[in-house]
Structure 1
Amino acid sequence: MFLSDEDLDIENAWRFSSQDPKLWKLDGSAFWPLLILFFHFSVLTLILAVVSIGLFAWLQRKGYTPAVAWRRLVRFVFGNTRLRGPV
């Protein structure tokens, strides 16, 4: 038996496209290092993957996304100054 569009509710699936992917309680972007680990398996890559997942989990607990944390780090290092004129 085939399912119709009414059964699948396909026309309303677009509203879930803006949600961040999650795996358990962690953001989906925290698991990119695991993908790298699958392609290049070594002890150093494993350590990097575990540390970065821990860092992303800590950032999420603080309420920051990776992009917001990066911007805060750049603002901390370089301050609020902006260049005048073309770069």
Structure 2
Amino acid sequence: MPSANVTYGSFDYTSLLYLSDYSRDFEGGRFVFIDAGSNSTVEPKAGRLSFFTSGSENLHQVEKVRWGTRYAITISFTCDPDHSIGDPTGT
């Protein structure tokens, strides 16, 4: 599975904040970094924050959730002003 940067193009960094716990709230749904030598797996835990560069150096996938519900907030960051979101203006 391609990284978010390959998929969406404008992300330089991605963060994931987990809101539910692996094996208590759901089964499956672990985040897996794909490496040639061996994969690295992050087991979601409420309050755990994962932060990584979003380029092809961090290809990843998420396992299919087998039961329960996996909650997470994804926040993506860009360093490119052309892809930035402007500051909100008060009305």
Q: Normalization by structure 1: what TM-score? A: 0.23
Q: Which has the larger radius of gyration?
A: 1
Higher helix share: 1
